[in-house]
Structure 1
Amino acid sequence: MICGPTAAGKSAIATDLAAEYGATIVSADSRQVYRGFDIGTAKPSRELRSRVPHCGIDTAEPVERYSAARWAGEADRWIGEAERSGRVPLIVGGTGLYIRSLVEPFAESPVLDTVRRERLAAELGGKSIAELQRWCEALDRPRAHLGRTQLLRSIETALLSGTKLSDAHARARTAPSRARWGRARYLVVDAGETSADRIARRAREMFDGGWVEEVSALMQNVPADAPAWKSAGYAAVRALAEGKLDLSSAVEKVIIETRQYAKRQRTWFRHQLPADTVTRLDPGGSPAQQRAAVREWWEKSE
């Protein structure tokens, strides 16, 4: 698996490896699953995808809620298809929860009725953390110590489905592990001190490449509350398209938001992967040194 923060160069490394060794890239990016949201999610071009097989891109409509558990289930299928065709599956992306869900069994949350959920959300929305904790104590005690979002999810799941999320997660923890990935090896790619500049440069290239036009077209058909709009940067570009921000402010907002997102990813990959399975690519190495390190990692991982 190749993973790490956004704009670190993961895709370029993965593409070179896939072309050289006959691999199929399985995208572990929660933003690239949505159709039509292309420029701001840095999807590989259709031309590149025609040369190097990719899975996990354009798999969901913008209005769909796409969970890590669903991704893991579909990733298992994509991996199996790649292996049956004689190709090596290469997991690539920056969504840590997706990567974890492939390695560790993950509990799928029950599907809740949208109308009833909205009514309940309106009732619970004004309650304090202390009040929500009391509700959760009565409905799903093991989760009563969690934050507001998780408390709300626990309460609505218990009330609307009769299922406790704590029970679902306990079953997942005791389920058989995904043996296929029990010995997964990770290459963590991080641009280090150059990350901020890379993010700024890529953001400006996205604006130059038609991001505003893409968002304007999406606004004609995709509801404002669709999950896909939560992808990093899209709110700022949408505000620009609506005349609520000027171009300079929108660009700066996207850069700041993306840097914050990269920081969260960096923290996750620093602390959540087993240390003995991780190779960290030296961001200060020369291109030749990095190529050699990548190929050494690949040969050890096969």
Structure 2
Amino acid sequence: MVVCGPTASGKSGLALALAQRLHAPILSADSRQVYCHFDIGTAKPTAAERQWVPHYLIDICKPTETLTVADFQDQAKALIQRFQCQEIVPLLVGGTGLYIKSIVRGMRIPRVPPQPELRSQLAYLGQQLCYELLRSVDPASIQKIHPNDGVRTLRALEVFYTTGLPMSAQQGESPPTYPILQIGLDCLEPTEPSRDSLTERIRIRTHQMVKQGFVAEVEALCARYGKDLSLLKTLGYQEMCQHLAGELSLEEAIAQTTLHTRQFAKRQRTWFRADPTIEWFDADHPDLLEQVWQRIQIFLENIGSKA
């Protein structure tokens, strides 16, 4: 089962309640919670919450390392298979759409780790020439990559020159054979911007993070890994780094984090809404837990009847 949706929509709280009822573990599908020491700014489950319910795929990578989608997929699939052998249905919970899609749709991902030296050599040629190179070696990928998309162009060339095969020939989907229920959690789109409850949730959570010691966390990370660490340029951490550098007041950093998180949530909404198999529930509904629980009961009964 999956619990997904935009940031601050209440996924973690709902998942904890469901996991306790189901006696099920939670598999995190968050691309930043996989990294150690990035805790408050990623809204990582607390130590107490991890005692209540076993959590997996959290703190599995050093901040100086890179966990690819393929790496995540391998570890998540292995855990799911393990729990299935124990007749346990785990909960895949998070807002990283690509992580969830890699499991639900069974994406076939080229197992090619980043090649910094090769990327540097290709980038030196310029995007226009790289795009023409890609057209000659992998014309199918050209149909999906914009001429100005340097990141995806380099990745496609990287895969080709590393494996000798076009990336388009190594992609596709092999959906899992087991049934999947996807629960989408979101706040209803407001008729007036001032009544957007998701924005209010984001604002409250950002203030809570600061009260929990977010600034001190960022300061410690800068001291330990240096200010150029790529993860420190991500949502929330970048704004707090600017505050520590004297570029923003704390109030301005909080306001910028809230704004940028809202923009990020909008992109998440767009991603998840494109999947017609997700069943949506109103995060603000007073009987949310019971509504979702009833749907899960039907899902489990259907699985049992087909067993």
TM-score by length of 1: 0.88
Question: What's the C-alpha RMSD, in Å, of the aligned pairs?
Answer: 2.0
Residues 234-274 of structure 1, C-alpha deviations (whole Å, 9 max, x = no match): 11111112222221221111111100110011111111242
Match of 2:61 in 1: 60
Match of 2:79 in 1: 78
Match of 1:28 in 2: 29
- How many Å separate the matches in 2 of 1:52 and 1:86? 17
Over 3 Å counting, the alpha-carbon distance change for 1:82 and 1:279 in structure 2 is same
Q: 2:180 aligns with which of 157, 178, 184?
A: 184
Match of 2:109 in 1: 107
Match of 1:248 in 2: 251
Match of 1:279 in 2: 279
Q: Is the 8 A contact 2:110 2:167 kept in 1?
A: no
C-alpha deviation, 1:64, in angstroms: 1.8
- How many Å separate the matches in 2 of 1:43 and 1:112? 26
- How many Å separate the matches in 2 of 1:86 and 1:111? 34
C-alpha deviation, 1:157, in angstroms: 3.1
Q: Is the 8 A contact 1:28 1:91 kept in 2?
A: yes
Over 3 Å counting, the alpha-carbon distance change for 1:209 and 1:284 in structure 2 is closer
Residues 164-206 of structure 1, C-alpha deviations (whole Å, 9 max, x = no match): 211211xx44xx43213xx311111002331000001101111
Over 3 Å counting, the alpha-carbon distance change for 1:97 and 1:77 in structure 2 is same
Structure 2: gaps spanning 5 or more residues: 189-195, 301-307
Q: Does 1:298 align with 2:296?
A: yes
Q: Is the 8 A contact 1:116 1:160 kept in 2?
A: no
Structure 1: gaps spanning 5 or more residues: none
Over 3 Å counting, the alpha-carbon distance change for 1:253 and 1:98 in structure 2 is same
- How many Å separate the matches in 1 of 2:134 and 2:245? 40
Moved more, 239-248 or 93-102: 239-248
Q: Is the 8 A contact 2:122 2:130 kept in 1?
A: no
Quick one: which amino acid aligns to residue 211 of structure 2?
Answer: D
- How many Å separate the matches in 1 of 2:234 and 2:50? 22
Match of 1:38 in 2: 39
C-alpha deviation, 1:227, in angstroms: 4.2
Q: Does 1:234 align with 2:237?
A: yes
- How many Å separate the matches in 1 of 2:272 and 2:134? 31
Over 3 Å counting, the alpha-carbon distance change for 1:159 and 1:105 in structure 2 is closer
Quick one: which amino acid aligns to residue 106 of structure 1?
Answer: R
Q: Is the 8 A contact 2:122 2:154 kept in 1?
A: no
Q: Is the 8 A contact 1:31 1:231 kept in 2?
A: no
Q: 2:219 aligns with which of 216, 221, 229?
A: 216
Quick one: which amino acid aligns to residue 158 of structure 2?
Answer: E
- How many Å separate the matches in 2 of 1:56 and 1:249? 33
C-alpha deviation, 1:154, in angstroms: 1.7
Q: Is the 8 A contact 1:26 1:92 kept in 2?
A: yes
C-alpha deviation, 1:225, in angstroms: 4.7
Match of 1:96 in 2: 97
Moved more, 132-141 or 289-298: 132-141
Match of 2:70 in 1: 69
Matched residues, percent identical? 34
Quick one: which amino acid aligns to residue 191 of structure 1?
Answer: C
Q: 2:133 aligns with which of 128, 135, 142?
A: 135
- How many Å separate the matches in 2 of 1:168 and 1:185? 28
Match of 1:157 in 2: 159
Quick one: which amino acid aligns to residue 82 of structure 2?
Answer: E
